[in-house]
Structure 1
C-alpha cells in the first residue's frame, strides 16, 4: 500500500460526541446562546475534527507550495515565469506578505519548492524546503501536465509536509501556493470537475487585460477538449491539468484529515486542490475551513457548489496562503473566547428567564 492509500485509510469519521459536548460548553458561557455567530461554528468544527472536547490550540502552521506551469508559455499571465523563483526567494527571505503574517502570528511557515523552473537550490535559502518533482509542468495544451508518477510524488510531498507540521506541534494548518499561471490550471481543473463553462471560472489572475482574459478562456477551453477522456478519475484529472504545487496541496488536504488537523484552504487555486481531494475522498470538505472569498471570478461559484462558507471576504486575490493565515487567526480568536470566557455559574451571572 502506497503513502497516498495509507493516508486515505487513516481518515477517521468526525467525532459527533465531541460536537455535543462543545456545544453545551458554548451555551454555558456568559452570552446569549448563539450570539457569537459563526465564531461558535468555527469552534464546533475545529473540536470535532480534532476529536477534542477541550478544543485545545497548540499552534498554527502555514504550508506554501511553489511551482511553475508549462501553460505559462501560452501567455495566460500578466507576469513572466521568472517571478515564481523570485517570489520563492522573497518568501524565504521573509519579505513576502505570507512571511510577514506568519511572523506576526507566530505560525510555522513551511515553504516548499515542488517544481520551480529555475532551480534555486543551487543557492539555497535555509527557510525553503527543496522537494522538486521537476522544473515546472508540461504545457497541458500539448499533453498531460504531469505523469501519474509525478502526480503521486507531488501528493506525497504534501502528505509529508503536513506530517512535519503536526510533528512541530501544529493543531491548525493553512494551505497555500505560489506559481505563475496556476490560476489557469485551477480554472481548468474546476471546469473539469464541475462541468461549468470556462468563462464562468476563468479570472484575470495577476491582472490580465480583456484581451489576455479572452486568450486565457480559450486556453482552458482547448485543454478541456484535449483531455476530456481523463475526467472520470480525480487523480488523472489532476495529472492532465494540474501543477506540482496543486498536487502537493491536494496531498496536504488528505493528510490533514488523516492527522485530525483542521485545515484552512486559502483562495481560488487552493480550492481547486481541495475540490480534487474531495473527488478522491468524498466527504473531505467536512474537515476543511475555507479561509476567504477570493476576488477571482469563479471562486464564489465553486464555494457555493461545495456548500462552503468562507470565513473572510476582503477582496483579496494574492494567494501565498495569506487569506488562510488571516482566517486561522480568526479561528484562534474564537478558540480563545471558548477557553477564557467565564460561564454563568463561575461568574455568578443570572441566566435567561424561563
Structure 2
C-alpha cells in the first residue's frame, strides 16, 4: 500500500468499542479506575481494533535494521559492522530483547531496511545499503524516505494478515542516536545539545563530535521543520523511517503498535507530524534514559508506564510493557463483575 493510500485509510478510534470496554471495566468487582493505565491501554486497544474483545496473544517485535553514513564522523563507540552482527543475532535469539521476548511470548522479526551489507535477515524491503553521510548532504532522497515509510506500512499489513494483534517497534543501527537527535532537534526546534546524549557509551570528546556532526548536518541540509518527510530524508535514517511507517500502518490497519525508547519516539513523532490522527493509535511504553525522551513523549501527548532508566534500544522497553498489559487484560477478561457477586456497583462520584 502506498503512503497516500495508507493516510486515506486512517480514521478516528472506534468510540463505540471504547465505550463498551470502559463499561466492562466499570462493571468489574473492584474500585473504579483503580488499575489506572492498565485500564486505559485496554480501552485504547479496543478503539484501535474496533473490538472490545482483546486479541493480543500473538505479538511480535519488529527491529528495523539499517546503517547510517554519519558514522564516518566518529560519532559512535563501535564500528558499523556491529549492525549486521546484532541483526543476525535477532535471528538466533541472542540479543537482550530476544531474551525478554521469550519471557512474554513474543516473536522477533528483524527487517533489513537499509544495512550496509546483506545478511541472513530478509532483504525484500531493503531501500539501500545504508544512508549517505548527512554532514555532506542529505542522508537519503525523498523518494527513499517514502519507500522506507512504505516498508514499515507493508510489515504491519503482512503481520496483520498473519494474525498478529500487537506489535512492538525496535531498531538496530550504529549511529542512529545521532540521526534521531538531529530529527528531534529540528522537529521540536530545540538546541542540538539538549537533544543529544551519549548513546551507547560515548566519551566526552565523542559527545562533542556527535553534537558538531548534527549541527553541521542541519546547517548544510536546512531541513524544513514543517515537512516531516523532508526532515527524515535529510537528517534521518532508514530504521527511523521504517518504524514511522509501522505507526502509520498500525493506524491504517487497526493494529496497536508500541513505542519503544528515544529512537522509536522520534519515529512516532514523524508519523504524527505526517498524520496527526496516528498519535491516537500509539501506545507509549517507557521513558528512555536519553535526555530528550521526556520532551518527545510530551510532544506526542503520551504518558509512558515504565520509568526504568533504560536506554538499550532494540525494542526492549516496548517489550517490557507486555507483561504489565497482559495482567490488565487478564483482569478485564476474567474478573467477576459486581452482578456476579451480588454487590452494588460503584458509582462515579463528582
Aligned equivalents of 2:156, 2:346: Cα separation in 1: 44
* Deviation string, structure 1 residues 12-41 (Cα, Å, up to 9, x no partner): 211112222211110110101111111111
- 8 Å contact kept, 2:114–2:128: yes
Q: Does 1:260 align with 2:279?
A: no
Q: CA deviation at 1:303?
A: 1.1
* Deviation string, structure 1 residues 158-198 (Cα, Å, up to 9, x no partner): 11111121112111111110100000000100111110001
Aligned equivalents of 2:268, 2:226: Cα separation in 1: 17
Match of 1:155 among 149, 159, 173: 149
Aligned equivalents of 1:93, 1:58: Cα separation in 2: 22
Q: Does 1:90 align with 2:89?
A: yes
Secondary structure (helix, strand or coil) at the match of 2:340 reads helix
Aligned equivalents of 2:270, 2:157: Cα separation in 1: 20
* Deviation string, structure 1 residues 274-315 (Cα, Å, up to 9, x no partner): 111111101321111111110111111211222210121111
Relative to the length of structure 1, the TM-score reads 0.94
Match of 2:137 among 139, 143, 156: 143
Q: CA deviation at 1:328?
A: 2.6
Residues 329-340 of structure 1 mapped to structure 2, 5 A cutoff: 329-340=323-334
Q: CA deviation at 1:350?
A: 4.7
Aligned equivalents of 1:95, 1:117: Cα separation in 2: 21
User: What is the aligned residue count?
Assistant: 348
Match of 1:75 in 2: 74
Aligned equivalents of 2:139, 2:277: Cα separation in 1: 27
Match of 2:39 in 1: 40
Secondary structure (helix, strand or coil) at the match of 2:113 reads strand
Aligned equivalents of 2:335, 2:287: Cα separation in 1: 30
Residues 1-354 of structure 1 mapped to structure 2, 5 A cutoff: 3-120=2-119, 124=120, 128=122, 130-352=124-346
Aligned equivalents of 2:178, 2:20: Cα separation in 1: 44
Which segment is superposed worse, 341-350 or 39-48? 341-350
- 8 Å contact kept, 2:104–2:322: no
Q: CA deviation at 1:219?
A: 1.4
Aligned equivalents of 1:230, 1:36: Cα separation in 2: 42
Unmatched runs of 5 consecutive residues or more in structure 1: none
* Deviation string, structure 1 residues 192-235 (Cα, Å, up to 9, x no partner): 11100011110110001111112211211121212225333111
Aligned equivalents of 1:254, 1:237: Cα separation in 2: 17
- Are residues 245 and 36 of structure 1, via their aligned partners in 2, closer, same or farther at CA, if it must alter by over 3 Å? same
Aligned equivalents of 1:306, 1:57: Cα separation in 2: 24
User: Alignment RMSD, CA only?
Assistant: 1.7
- 8 Å contact kept, 1:154–1:248: yes
Which segment is superposed worse, 44-53 or 95-104? 95-104
Relative to the length of structure 2, the TM-score reads 0.95
- Are residues 295 and 164 of structure 1, via their aligned partners in 2, closer, same or farther at CA, if it must alter by over 3 Å? same
